[in-house]
Chains A and B, each alone.
Chain A
């Protein structure tokens, strides 16, 4: 356990892990009462990863959670009521009941991008946020999570490779919980350490004990600092274990009992409590105070969620499109002079410099043969401007001429 953290930082990490678990415990109760509409996915035993990594971000930074990253949302400032109302499909939820679980975001204030169920899609998206942030001079870092399972998707590769070529300030947390639904990690990936995937992209990586929150935080902080300093994307493999099934419906009997027992003895909250107590950072009174604070908070948040209405049915047909400025006034927040990316400052000599060989340029004019599929006609037709735009009769004729070889002349056929 790292001792460099301040007492307050230690207590923050502890508080958020406890809050994370308490929020999920509350949802378990709601689930058993049939108050949760869809599935419920647990991060039991993985709280140190969500909390420790997100805690390394600054307020201006961006994150995109996965399904088991409720803790990251709490650290970023999402109130528990948003998580309850999302799961309960309430009108007061961030998506107004249009989606559930952790599938919500906040572009304006908290800088959270919503996940979708398809794994890996967030990787290029968060790379794009990182590239745009750099372009605008915002000095932000972006972070998202992926599981051992999701790391086998094509878009994981495309996204991380692209981020690496762009040296995007992006940190990817590979949360290796050893199981993708019912499939053990060894049947998914022929690697001992999933962090080795980073080698394929020429990026830095770390391996960290995902059940040690202080270690997770220290590693994430270092990665975030390096990414912000311009070192490019960084991959962190956090090793942990998924204590419950894929979701509430899954008893996960495919997990060996011994394996479960091993990890249950390494509960991240219990481990951290022992550490905090031995370091005299937390005593019984302090712990009771935190528990009381969480209990009071969640009672109120749960009550709010339970008393919230379901969405009005006709909401279903609203909001597919942004209707314009009245709906969203889209404006980039520039923190560098725009003139830097506008001509004449932006103008360059467009050449590739190949180390050891010199430079090459693009082909122009006569040196640019026409690509197949783009053979110009000998006499391109004019869309005749002399007639009304509504009635351009000319192009048809001329086009017919231009394409006579490919298409039978209609007039001749028509006169048969």
Chain B
């Protein structure tokens, strides 16, 4: 395993580094999931971990998502810090009951913290079809007791995953697979984490705020570049954590720009944009010069054929047009 040595690494490599470093640092950290051991994970995010840490710490499981999550929860009760891999995040809903009823409620009900991470590749744009492209984050954002992270850069992916492993709560960590090998970034040679629950301003602007996360953050930046050519300065904020949501950063920006567009790859109805719109209505109504607008995927399953999927997904053009419309207010 290469240490951080100054050469740019992919998003995928950043995930691998985070797990490697945390397992190296703390023997309480273990990994369990389908094909994570000998095979090294379907996407090779756990490549080399079994060789280094052995059978007890890298556990190949049967195809049993509820058992993976349940067992990890039990392990956490003895002070371990398990990382569960869902081979594709779509399969997380197979363990929905275990996560939402068992894992999420333990601390509130009987004072039992469950320090565990559930991570896996998510998102579309890669023609994975309706069962390998999901963005199921909002099922879980609606579940008190969980934390939900969805990073957009290798730097954040590594720092947030390390923070998630160290957090005393169950953390869901979504890895947009479109980004796995498409972006590279040089990472610090020294140890770092990124705080959970903090958004970040990726591009400053004064005419409107674009809130986004994961792959759509890059789409939003692309649109912001085009908007700038038309004299519209969009402020782009990467939410990074969806639960808890960084209301402070959102409100601060909207109070400055007076306009807000939310862009997400999740389907529109029940997406985080609706929640943000409500927060802005409650806390910044007087600051808004126009409606809170949304660019999101269609309210359909993710279709397979490239032409259908491209139509289904948001893109920079859609963001650009929505932003222009909003800027007119």
Contact = CB atoms under 8 A, between A and B. Distances in A.
Interface of A: 94-95, 98-99, 103-105, 107, 113-114, 116-118, 121, 123-133, 135-136, 138, 142, 154-155, 158-159, 161-162, 165-166, 319-324, 327-328, 330-334, 338, 341-343, 346-352, 360-364, 368, 370-377, 380-383, 385, 389-393, 395-400, 402-403, 406-408, 410-411, 413-415
B74 interface: yes
Given A99-B109, A127-B67, A410-B317, A395 B51 contact: no
A406 B218 CA distance: 14
A339 B278 CA distance: 52
A114 B110 contact: yes
B281 interface: no
Given A95-B109, A129-B77, A368-B44, A123 B70 contact: yes
Given A123-B70, A368-B44, A414-B226, A406 B54 contact: no
Which of B88, B102, B128, B310 neighbours the largest number of chain A CB atoms within 10 Å of its CB? Answer: B102
B206 to A, nearest CB: 14
Contact of B316 (A135, A341, A410): A410
A165 B223 CA distance: 51
A360 B37 CA distance: 13
The 5 closest A-B pairs by CB, nearest first: A128-B74, A124-B70, A332-B79, A128-B71, A396-B221
B38 to A, nearest CB: 5
B320 interface: yes
Interface of B: 8, 10, 12, 24, 27-28, 30, 37-40, 42-44, 47, 50-57, 59, 61-62, 64-82, 88, 97-98, 101-102, 105-113, 115, 121, 125-128, 132-133, 144-145, 147, 153-155, 168-169, 177, 180-186, 200-204, 218-219, 221-227, 229-230, 306, 310, 315-317, 320
A373 B127 contact: yes
Given A103-B109, A155-B66, A127 B50 contact: no
Contacts, number: 324
A273 B55 CA distance: 50
A414 B50 CA distance: 49
A382 B126 contact: no
Contacts of B230: 414
A128 B53 CA distance: 19
Contacts of B59: 166
Contacts of B132: 372-373
A125 B67 CA distance: 8
B300 to A, nearest CB: 18
Given A343-B52, A350-B38, A114 B106 contact: yes
Contact of B101 (A121, A129, A132, A402): A121
A291 to B, nearest CB: 33
A113 B77 contact: yes
A161 B64 contact: yes
B71 A361 contact: no
A116 B105 contact: yes
Given A161-B64, A348-B50, A352-B38, A380 B182 contact: yes
A135 B168 CA distance: 20
Which of B144, B201, B226 neighbours the largest number of chain A CB atoms within 10 Å of its CB? Answer: B226
B77 A395 contact: no
A146 to B, nearest CB: 13
A29 to B, nearest CB: 26
B320 A410 contact: yes
B202 A392 contact: yes
A389 B168 contact: no
Given A113-B74, A327-B168, A411-B226, A374 B113 contact: no
Contacts of A377: 181-182
Given A363-B39, A396-B222, A383 B110 contact: no
Contacts of B8: 382-383
A328 B105 CA distance: 16
Contacts of B66: 121, 124, 154-155, 158-159
B126 A390 contact: no
